[in-house]
Structure 1
Amino acid sequence: MLLLSKKYQWLEMSSEIDRDNRRFKRYDCYKETQVLFEGKKYNLQAINYSLRGIGFYFDESLTIPVGSPGHFKIEDLGIDDDGKIIWCKKIDSKLRIGIERKTISGLLSVYPLDDILFDLKQNEMNGVLELRKEAITKKIFFKKGDIIFATSNKTEDRLIEIMLKTGRITNDQYYQLINFSKRTGKSQGAAIVALGYLKPDELTSAIRNQIEEIILSLFQWENAKFIFFDGHVLPDKIIKIRLDITNIVYNGYKRISNIVYIKNSLPPVDTVLLPVHNLSNFLNNIKLDKMDKDIIELINGNRSIQEIINISPYETRNTMKTLFSLIKARIINIKKSDLQEDKYDQEFIDKIEDLYQRLDSSDYYSILGVEKWATLDKIKKAYYAAAKEFHPDKHKELPTEIVKNKLNAIFTHLTEAYKVLSQSDERIKYDQSLSTSHTIKKKSNKEIAREKYEEGTIAINRGKYDEAIKLFEQALYLDSTVPDYHFYLGMALKGNKKYNEAARIINNALKLAPFNSEYLTELGYIFLQLGFVLRAKGTFEKAIKIDSNNEHAIAGLRKIKELQ
């Protein structure tokens, strides 16, 4: 039961706050974390997050009022931040709370760069987006959501370096500019005009090119930290250039040559694509070549990705790259089918919530909806009917991860109930436990998780990867502390060629067992599948350092040498 503070009344999020918060793209997640409020720790479940906030579920009593400051840390998301509760809402016996973050910060591996840029644009932000990768720091300046400038501490990103690379100045002029700048103290831009290498209007064009190059290079960064400094402005003397974010995102992703990454990042090939309503307005601001225009002509709101690839006159890799870039730039959208839109009404989701709330207080007969004297035939019929309705494979498009996890828990309990009640010896023991005690003696979550894990290993050995994924996910939902559960889920995903997700899951296993040579080796092979050769090499070397006799890792290094 929820306890409400007498001093404060729980407040629903106002429509104004809700509209503002929802202007930032939200991502589903399911992470256990601790949040510190007023010096006290609370265990919460993060269910979604954005650049500005995080949504949590709370299973216990909570008396902290709206507006209370707190600190929270979610390592997987790169979040270590202060914030405050901005809204609370009771949902049955649970509490849903929303926390507004103090900073806009995180990891590019969690927040894609295109989402960050479009979020800042949509919210008309003023300030500086700073991105760091090892010793390299790049900054993008925004005014009312528009990109107006960019800087970098990387030598190759200096104006004269880019002009030399693009042939706008010669080697002799390059060194004359360096000496002139040192002697006079003038900036590179001022020196270029003073020496007559460019006219003022040509300098503006060169600076625009430099800014674009600095930003476009960021789309190649696999891992980097970012933080947004709100309100920072450029000095008046700096030349400000307005860049179109759609054009930047499109050309940034067009530069990516890793076709494995593109293939894994695209939606399923049966996804139907359709152009945005005001397509002509978008195309006026984007530099497209003939191939790009021809591929856009194939997108009509009825064809799937695979159908577009099949009829495209261009190579598959080029068609995929163009489609990927168009989706990322929001020039084309993913069409939702009527079935997908109408499939999950609120009634069904409420049914999941109701059954989930009753799991711990219900016996196996109540879970299946039969009487304690029901025949085996009735138990079978009840189980098959319930399994058909609540099987996770039938509901992969549920709106949030937390609803999916609740459905997994329901199906796990249904299966366990049927397993016990369908075997006469087990049913007798269970009935005796009910008659001798008013408490229901069910297997612990850890015991059920172990059974699901063992069933999963059998499925993966038989090459039944979909079944294995489902079983390992159920095991992890019930007990996320066992590294092997994470690892074998990653291996099942690898078997299904879902390499990005597999890498993320095996990294979770390594957080629990950082010196497991086998985990590292398999992660190295996944990196190879993704085309991340350097990361694969480093991972194999780390595995061998832990276990010098790891032949599988040694073979991985040999494979890399052959590729090079």
Structure 2
Amino acid sequence: MFIRMRGARDEMTVKIGIIDDDQGSVQALSEYAVTLGYEVVSARDGEEGFQLFTRERPDILLLDGLLPKLHGFDLCRKIKEMPEGKETPILLISGVYKGHKYRMQSSKEYLADGYFEKPLNVQNLFTRIEDLTGNRADAGEGLNTARLHFKKLKDGTILRLLHTLYGENRTGILYLEKGNIRKSIYFKDGYISFAVSNQKEERLGELLLSDHKISPMQYSEISQTMKETGKRLGLLLLESGRIDAATLETYLQRQLTNILHSVFTWNSGYYDFVPSTDHDEYITLKAAPAQVIIRGVQKTYTAEMLERHFPEIHTVFVLSSDPRFRFQNIQLNEKEEKILSLVDGSRSVEEIVHQAQLPSVMVRKFLYALFLCRIIHKKGAEEMTEDDVDLMAGHGAEPLMDEDQRSSILRKYIQVQSQNPYEILEISKTKDKKLIKQGFMKMAKTYHPDRYFHKLDDKYNDYIKVIFQRINQVYQELLQNISKTEKETLKAAPSDPCLREPPKDESISRAEHFFEKGMALSRQGDLEGAQNALISAIQVHPKETEYHIQLGLIFMEGADEQPDRLDLAESAFNYAMNLSSRDARPFFYLGCVYKVRDDTDRSEQMFSRALERDPKYIEAMREIRLIHLRKKKSIKQILQEMIGIQ
């Protein structure tokens, strides 16, 4: 059975043939390819795949290595040995045959043009497809925007887009095009996480070259390795020890800033936003759009542009009363703090400029950026009280790094599952809207996600998001309820959905009890007791990554005496990896399991994946370097033996 899907392309559409018996994989790859404008045909086994090739003549084939009826490797060679198939690029994909050995065999014995292991790095796969089909718009880093459904850019559109995507918590890719210039900005939950460009001076390698962090020869060698392995430049530089994690992060941040600032002044061009899932293939920097916009406007806007976009002189601005926007993560200098302190609903822009005693253009740029980010708005919307202004003073986030503060977040997360609205806002029962608003603003400021997104891991960031959403929810519930029951007593009827307490959910608390018990028993050396306690925690709350990781580590502790425990550890780490694909630890510990088994290829692969997710993972970096050293030593020993024999 053949399946055909088409993207929005002209007669030069590139046709991809996907041969895989896993229909989930076929569907996912097909939808992604169609989004990029490719045409897709597919088949479910090797024999169907061969028929598909002879009928459809796709421009490129993606073959699963383990196909029914005709093995994927054999199908690859069969097509390549045909006169009409000799020039057709074929990429083999496998979740079973892994490691350098199979990669070499795929090209030498079966004539494949590339080899990819599952789970797939889709971005690298399609970059390779573009290379092989000549279908790339330009030589940008993994960038192809020529096949999207673009809309016209207008003056100021990009800045508004950045903040709209933030306000809607969007995840996906914003594609931008102007003439031959193409850029892509990646978003995760509204935050800017990565950017790529087809402009040579904005590529990571060029930035490192210009500052002499790598040599031209090193860049050339690593570029070749990138093509052969599909790995990113940054990861290869880390693995080889040419740069450290801190340097890589600095240059990635610089690359991101350069790309973003370069598009702020665009007043024409095209854009499209494509929603998608998380981007595991990128080292996420999580830049808050508000900070990016403020710095970008200050750096790139001219007086003429400012006059065009922000002509207000006599307008009076007030601070936003919406905590989602008011408490965004912005780091202000002393002059900016002074300007913001003058925005109190009583002064016009002209008066703020006069009282700030700072250059007019500087003050107006800053106010315009705050307006774009919705931190301030024109007077006339909901007015701010003096209490609100006092409460909302200050911008810097206190980092929550120590265990006591993490425990505090966890306790609040558990509490908001069962507390009533007043308890969540930490106020007494009241119908005074002013007191309720003050409680809401205080809690919203304390638990705004922007305050912590760069300080906490994914698990605790998720806790913060739930807390913040619940705070907003109960605030709206209380206001709605009071509006409906102004003349009633404070005690609402049990049937009133606005004041009814949420259903009790003690599962998280129970699971944490078992987990803490397991950790205590582990420290005492009682592995069996610790194991049983952690299993109990998992039974109560099976989707907590940390429980599975710690259970795997306990299994590993006893693996010397009971080798079968290594299999149990592997299973636990695999489960944790599936729960949280962005957490580096399950990958690292799986690498340790394979290291114990002397499976060098798989251990190196896992350590590399851990490093992809956390470039500062020193243990993973050290293990990779040790593997490379052992490989070099083995080659040296072989050469010495050969010389000795001769």
Q: TM-score range by the shorter chain?
A: 0.3 to 0.5
TM-score w.r.t. length of structure 1: 0.37
Higher share of residues assigned strand: 1
Name the TM-score, length of structure 2 as normaliser: 0.33
